[in-house]
Structure 1
Amino acid sequence: MSLPVGKNYNEAPWADETDIDYNRYFDIAALLKGELPPSPVPKYGIRDDGHALFYDEQVNFVFGDPEGGKTWLALTAASELLRLGATGRVLVIDLDHNGAAATVTRLLALGADRDALADPERFLYVEPEDRLHATEVVADMAAWKPAIAVVDSMGELLPLFGSSSNSADDFTTVHSRILKPLAKAGACVIVIDHLSKGSDSRTFGAGGTAAKKRAVGGVSLRVRAKDAFTPGKGGSAYLTINKDRHGGLREHCPSGDREPLAGLFELRVFDGGVLEPVIHAPKDGQSAPTDFGISGGDPQRLAEDVATLDALDPPPSSQRDVCARMSWGGNRAAEALRAWRDSRRE
């Protein structure tokens, strides 16, 4: 077969594609002319060896059973920016109805400076009333630019948008409207999440869709109580790596385990209610227990609470609803509501 006359076959095959706007694409050539940027490394939640847990400008997850220390760990990282002499802005989005007073009390106990907490240029706390309120807060953050944004918790954020925790599409929608914009605003986003009661899903990670794990841009840490967190006595918890997208934390942890030990989080209590949070770096060869079973709580009482919620008409809609109708505390209501939702999916 003869080739068409007049065509220059030494030209690149794309030479006549003049309608491509390369400004839409990242300039790799310019990147390679200079020094390649270093791989991301965790910045907040500093261990006692100087290495940290959570990545800046990424979505990080902390998950585990109720009262295992998840919120304490997230607020410990936040308090690093709120102590006397520190700088940086912190946002707390409280969907679990911990309350402003309880949250501020915890931050003060962790060493946060009163002036920093009282300054709206340094610290903001909000309990979104609905999805519009939540999206307006996120829009504000594009200008306010928090260094850390704590979202407590994913289990209440999804229902706020009428979304199911088992739907990948629902989670992706909420992620793109709330979590991703916070990270793009420059925040280390620390999302608190929970475990379901099913053994298979507990082994995999946080309850609900697998899309949660795929969406982790930083690190996902499993938190398991070692010594129960008790008012006036403190407590401790194992921190293990469920996912580390960039490997910056895993690099400084013992190898060999399916979920390497990232540290031991400890709250020490002193006179006057002052707390000293310490994230102990793991030692070579050290690991956490591999039992992913349900920790803490009374299984019989939980089963009774689930049956009580199952009998409600109309069905419970949120943790706030359960607290109001049953006169239960926040932790009991949250645990019972999660177990009830899990039982409805089985």
Structure 2
Amino acid sequence: MTTAVYDDPYADVPPPTVEPDDAVQPGCNPYRGTVATQPTDLHPYVSASEVHPVRNPQCGYVNIGALLDDGIPEPPTPEVCRRSDGKGLFYRGQFNIVFGDPESGKTLLCDYATVEELKAGGRVLRLDLDHNGVESTVSRLLGFGADESVLRNPNRFLYVEPAERDQAIAVIDDMTDWKPTLVIIDSIGELLPLFGAGSNSADEFTDVHTRVIKPLTRTGACVVGIDHLAKGSDSRAFGPTGTAAKKRAIGGTSIRVKVDSAFTPDKGGSAYLSIHKDRHGGLRRHSPSGDREPLCGKFVIIGNQISITAPMRGERNPEETADPDDIAAIGELDPPPTSAREARERLKWRDDRSRRAFKAWREENSEPS
């Protein structure tokens, strides 16, 4: 096979002369050489033209050589909201999601993350669009062990309930200088209508993401959005309500919260935490494998004791453990089903139920290797 060779149409063209007073036009310069301007706020490895004289630095090409000069980069690891083994649930500088049913413990988990971040010396912004109320929020934070003097300090903790989009935009702009380390958005379902966006429109969600969420992650903050589950029994397996653009926008983790023991004031409760998405794999690497959504922890409140216990090796997600009667029902089908979809159609079950039962039946009846 012959490999095509392409000539550089600009190889013999001399580089343009750039006078100090000449204004550089926006866009990419097709000529090799240097230009007079340097991009800003693009990437830490976008270097000066004399170091990386490949193309117009206004275009923002990343200098891979400069990156590798610092050594092979380590993959990002989640550092915020740590489990009992010291592994975090959420990534800094990324958009993370917590989702689940009402009263499953989503906001309580974010309260715990807030208190832990403040104890570590961080700065936390709480964007309350879900009408939790400042009195209730501050009361829970104090109950979770927050230092009252830290909550009083506007250099460490800020709480706001944006009533209109202009106020929200002003808050986002203010964060450029304030530099939060953790931002809690409660909730995404209320943020979208504030900007006239719908949950089912990819374009509208992307617009809000660009205007609100992305600027917050650019501050270096760990941004955690609280979201809700879809109502349909089958669609709930796919995650939060609305457009798939939500999942694509997640640069960190998406954590499903499923109540185990209902949370009751002054008594506590518990909820299973499972990985719906982990873009960098840093949390999945330290969680059991084998499940579609592996367990990454259990959020437990017992009196004044609050923790996220790390899962044991091989521990299964209860939501993916089939009922023995369902496994037996799969085994009684003649001929045996060849897929979970076939089992669902023949037994008239929900998708999640048939998927769990078929997977367990197949594992029990597979030939040993």
What is the alpha-carbon root mean square deviation over aligned residues?
1.8
- Residues 101, 10 of structure 1: alpha-carbon distance in 2 compared, 3 angstrom cutoff: closer
CA distance in 2, matches of 1:10, 1:211: 38
- Residues 31, 235 of structure 1: alpha-carbon distance in 2 compared, 3 angstrom cutoff: same
Deviation for aligned residue 1:25: 1.0
Whether 2:80 is the aligned partner of 1:67: answer: no
Matches within 5 A, 1:178-327: 178-269=212-303, 275-290=304-319
CA distance in 1, matches of 2:31, 2:70: 28
Amino acid at match of 1:184: R
Matches within 5 A, 1:1-346: 15=11, 16=13, 18=31, 20-22=55-57, 24-83=60-119, 86-269=120-303, 275-290=304-319
After superposition, the C-alpha distances for 1:87-130 in whole angstroms (9 at most, x for unaligned) are 11000000011011111111111111000000000000000011
Amino acid at match of 1:124: L
After superposition, the C-alpha distances for 1:183-212 in whole angstroms (9 at most, x for unaligned) are 111110010000121123211000111111
Q: 2:205, 2:245 within 8 Å by CA — same for their partners in 1? A: yes
CA distance in 2, matches of 1:138, 1:18: 38
CA distance in 2, matches of 1:21, 1:288: 51
Corresponding residue of 1:344 = none
Q: 2:80, 2:117 within 8 Å by CA — same for their partners in 1? A: no
The runs of 4+ residues in structure 1 deviating greater than 4 Å are: 9-14
CA distance in 1, matches of 2:92, 2:235: 28
Deviation for aligned residue 1:150: 0.3
Q: 2:81, 2:117 within 8 Å by CA — same for their partners in 1? A: no
After superposition, the C-alpha distances for 1:31-74 in whole angstroms (9 at most, x for unaligned) are 12331221110011110011110101110000000000000111
| Unmatched 5+ stretches in structure 2 | 14-29, 33-54, 322-369
CA distance in 1, matches of 2:168, 2:305: 32
| Unmatched 5+ stretches in structure 1 | 1-8, 270-274, 293-346
CA distance in 2, matches of 1:10, 1:199: 55
CA distance in 1, matches of 2:266, 2:153: 28
CA distance in 2, matches of 1:137, 1:34: 35
CA distance in 1, matches of 2:170, 2:230: 30
Corresponding residue of 1:6 = none
What TM-score do you get using the length of structure 2 for normalisation?
0.72
CA distance in 2, matches of 1:212, 1:65: 17
Q: 2:230, 2:241 within 8 Å by CA — same for their partners in 1? A: yes
After superposition, the C-alpha distances for 1:155-206 in whole angstroms (9 at most, x for unaligned) are 1111111111000011101111111111111110010000121123211000
Structure having greater relative contact order (Cα 8 Å, sep ≥ 6):
1
Amino acid at match of 2:56: D
Q: 2:80, 2:113 within 8 Å by CA — same for their partners in 1? A: yes
Q: Of the two, which has the highest radius of gyration?
A: 2
CA distance in 2, matches of 1:143, 1:171: 26
Task: Provide the secondary structure at the position in 2 that maps to 1:74.
Answer: helix
CA distance in 1, matches of 2:10, 2:76: 35
CA distance in 2, matches of 1:135, 1:123: 19
Q: 2:230, 2:239 within 8 Å by CA — same for their partners in 1? A: no
Corresponding residue of 2:340 = none
Amino acid at match of 1:18: Y
State, as a whole percentage, how many aligned pairs show the same letter.
56
CA distance in 1, matches of 2:6, 2:172: 53
